[in-house]
Copies of this chain bind each other. A is one copy, B any other.
Amino acid sequence: MALKNRKSCMLFTEPPQQIIVAAHAVLARDSVNSEARLVSSLLSQRRLPLEPWTDQEIKSFLLNISSWDTNNFRGNIGVGEREGRYASNLVYERNFGLMHGIGRSGDIAAVQPKAAGSSLILRLTRYLVADAIRLAGIPSLVNDVPKGSPCLLPVATGMAITLVLLAVMKRQRAAHPNVKYVVWSRIDQKSCLKAMQLAGLEVVSVDQKQSDSPAEQGLVTDVEAIREKIRSLGGAESVVAIVGTTSTFAPRSPDDIPALGRIAKEFDIPLVVNNAYGLQCTKCCSLIEETSRASDARVDAVVQSTDKNFLVPIGGSIVIGRSDLVSAVGAGYPGRASMSPILDLFITLLSLGKSGWMAMLKKRRDMFKSFKTKLQQWTAQRGLRVLEVPWNRISLAIDLSSLNLDSGTAATEIGSALFTRRVSGPRVVLCENGPSKNIGSMVFSNYGSHSEDYSAAKSYMTCACAIGCEQQELDEFLVRFDHVLRDLRKKEKSISREQA
């Protein structure tokens, strides 16, 4: 597009010498050019900026782009039923005037004619996310913007898994009209199970098994049981997908994705991975990358949360994987969708930049290592122990068995005592006489422990060193946990005294 007469934008980029002193204007122009270079570089490189953008720079850019949507055109008039109108200034402002959402009826990743600006932001965000995932360790699955992977969905992980499975199901049914099972390496996290059930599939759950190594207390994928289950169900004729999970509460380990990938290849069944908060963890990422690169394995789709990896409000997810499948997920989405989760992600990625993202990843890794070591000493001093789960590098489980708490209530009291002390996040799990739970038509014993009969501990408490966590939070956690333990002991003493 040839633009001969460019006067119109000139004064935007050059300080007006007639109004202020020319000499002063020179440095100002350089500054404006710096900003223009930021934008230019973003649009041409389509990678995370090396250094963070400031909030002012981000806002300036958003206001610029926002003016590309028809509803923000000077003199635009709307005589349709969906014209990006607004009734509240506050709403308009907090959305930077981006009212048209993303997607078209045909495809959630498609460009909207009425909303060139919003569409550009979606595209750019996909590029930036691709770069962030590349840096996190899964370069092989994010090479197909604008067509395929990664795809951004303004729904959280659970709903994204449903959408992926609906797309998988549609394809598999074309070849195998009777498929209906999902074979699933059990994880006691309700959303994932409901996601599969919502897709109308029958879930076949395979328990985790305890690690063979005596020095470890982790639960690991029961690969053989899964293979056997698939075989007995009839393979690809009846099994629509295998679902594994990487990021998970200890003592569950990330699933052995490479092994699941080999089974998937062997039986010609798609493998879907729930990598909800796994982008922050090198281990989780490398399991996926390894599988993706292996010639004897396959991984079809991997779903991750935007909020848990990139610290935005809940409500977005990223699907990566085989590009034809990922693009089918986007193309199957009926109609437009909220821009908000994408906008939050876009802003966050610009405000982190490559340096910020790398620093956050490194900080978490380092902090996890040192906290695990510290927690091992700390628990040892108190007659407790940390369950050893070498592959799980986000979550830690503290064995509470030695407290000899007589009932489930007593153990779970620890959780609520911590919550009252403004510690959020820890979960107490009972592995003996724990709760049983119906979800859909399925029943689970000792729900929460990922297994019907985990024997390494009677009860334990998990805590995590997740991305965005601060060292002082971990330090203070131990202080408050100590208070809770002391209170517990006092209470027990007074009870036993009374009983005596």
Chain A contact patch, size range? 35 or more
Name A396's closest neighbour in chain B (CB-CB): B79
A496 at the interface (CB under 8 A from B): no
- From B44, B77, B277, A477 is in contact (CB under 8 Å) with B77
A68 at the interface (CB under 8 A from B): yes
A420 at the interface (CB under 8 A from B): yes
A63 and B60 in contact (CB under 8 A), knowing A189-B105, A336-B314, A341-B340?
Answer: yes
Cα(A316)–Cα(B316), bound, Å: 14
Identical chains bound together, number: 4
Using a CB-CB cutoff of 8 Å, which residues 22-74 of chain A contact chain B? 22-40, 43-44, 46, 54-60, 63-64, 66-74
Render A334-368 as a binary contact track against B, CB cut-off 8 A, 1 for contact.
Answer: 11111111001001100110001000100000000
Render A467-479 as a binary contact track against B, CB cut-off 8 A, 1 for contact.
Answer: 1110011101100
A43 near B28: Cβ-Cβ < 8 Å: no
A425 at the interface (CB under 8 A from B): yes
**Shortest Cβ gap from A29 to chain B (Å):** 8
A4 at the interface (CB under 8 A from B): yes
A450 at the interface (CB under 8 A from B): no
Set of chain B residues within 8 Å of A17, measured between Cβ atoms? 1
- From B33, B66, B116, B360, A9 is in contact (CB under 8 Å) with B33
Binds B, one of A133-141, A192-200, A212-220, A262-270: A192-200
Cα(A36)–Cα(B192), bound, Å: 40
Binds B, one of A151-159, A405-413, A484-492: A151-159
B15 near A8: Cβ-Cβ < 8 Å: no
Cα(A2)–Cα(B26), bound, Å: 12
- From B6, B338, B352, B466, A83 is in contact (CB under 8 Å) with B466
Binds B, one of A96-104, A224-232, A287-295: A96-104
Cα(A395)–Cα(B80), bound, Å: 8
A91 at the interface (CB under 8 A from B): yes
Set of chain B residues within 8 Å of A336, measured between Cβ atoms? 156, 158, 191, 314-315
Set of chain B residues within 8 Å of A11, measured between Cβ atoms? 36, 39-40, 43-44
A5 at the interface (CB under 8 A from B): yes
A369 at the interface (CB under 8 A from B): no
Given contacts A95-B313, A100-B313, A158-B335, 14 further A-B contacts (CB under 8 A): A6-B13, A12-B36, A19-B120, A23-B113, A28-B116, A32-B67, A34-B75, A60-B64, A87-B312, A102-B314, A158-B336, A159-B335, A191-B336, A340-B341
| Smallest CB-CB A-B distances: 8 pairs | A80-B425, A315-B338, A101-B314, A158-B335, A158-B334, A191-B335, A340-B340, A28-B68
A-B contact pairs, 28 of them (CB 8 A): A1-B17, A9-B12, A15-B120, A16-B43, A19-B46, A28-B68, A31-B68, A54-B72, A58-B90, A70-B422, A77-B423, A78-B425, A78-B469, A79-B465, A79-B473, A80-B424, A82-B425, A82-B466, A85-B311, A85-B467, A89-B351, A101-B314, A155-B337, A159-B333, A194-B335, A198-B334, A315-B337, A340-B340
